[in-house]
Structure 1
Amino acid sequence: MIRKTRNASQLQEEVSRRIHRIHEIVEEGVKIRVPRPQKQEPDASGCNWTMKHFGNAVGYERFVGDVLTAVRAEYNLSDADEGKDIRGLFGE
């Protein structure tokens, strides 16, 4: 499967959105802190990023792991510097 490319903020938002849609997490009102994705050398599957150290996730590790596995299978982290892109919009 060919992965789509997203920047760090987009990947962080996607993982958070999926985690916070899970019935058990919604029902219990838990807010899990989702870290920024970290670039890595592509693994055996071809994914070039990972996330570690989710906050407030004790007891929900399986759900977090399932979401992370799914999103990593769909997306790769872009090489673009997010800050550079934003400054470019203002002609700096």
Structure 2
Amino acid sequence: MIRKTLNASRLQEEVSRRIHRIHEIVEDGVKIRVPRPQKQEPDATGCNWTMKHFGNAIGYERVVDEVLRSARAEYNLSDTDDAKDIHSLFGD
């Protein structure tokens, strides 16, 4: 499967969206802090990013890991700097 590419902010938002739509998390009213993805050398699967240290996730590690595994299989982190993306919106 070919991975889609997202910048760090969009990837962080996507992982957060997926986590916060899980029934168990919605039902419990928990807000989990999702860290920014960190670039790494591609692993054996070809994924070039990881996330560590989710906030307020105690007791939800299993579902967070499932979301993270799914997102890592679907997306790669772009080489584009988020700041550069913002400037391009304004023609800088």
TM-score, normalisation: structure 2? 0.96
Q: Match for residue 58 of structure 1? A: 58
Q: Match for residue 21 of structure 2? A: 21
Unmatched 5+ stretches in structure 1? none
Question: Displacement, 1:82?
Answer: 1.2
**Residue 38 of structure 1 aligns to which amino acid in structure 2?**
Q
Post-superposition CA distance 1:30-81 (Å, at most 9, x none): 0000000000000000000000000000000000000000000000000001
Q: Match for residue 67 of structure 2? A: 67
Residues of 1 paired with 2:85 and 2:17: CA distance? Answer: 24
Greater Cα offset, 80-89 or 68-77: 80-89
Structure 1 segments (4+ residues) deviating >4 Å: none
Q: Match for residue 49 of structure 1? A: 49
Residues of 1 paired with 2:15 and 2:22: CA distance? Answer: 11
Q: Match for residue 38 of structure 2? A: 38
Residues of 1 paired with 2:87 and 2:2: CA distance? Answer: 30
Secondary structure of the residue aligned to 1:5 is: strand
Q: How big is the alpha-carbon RMSD for the aligned residues of Structure 1 and Structure 2?
A: 0.9
Residues of 2 paired with 1:20 and 1:85: CA distance? Answer: 26
Question: Displacement, 1:87?
Answer: 1.8
Secondary structure of the residue aligned to 1:21 is: coil
Question: Displacement, 1:10?
Answer: 0.8
Q: Work out the number of aligned pairs and report it.
A: 92
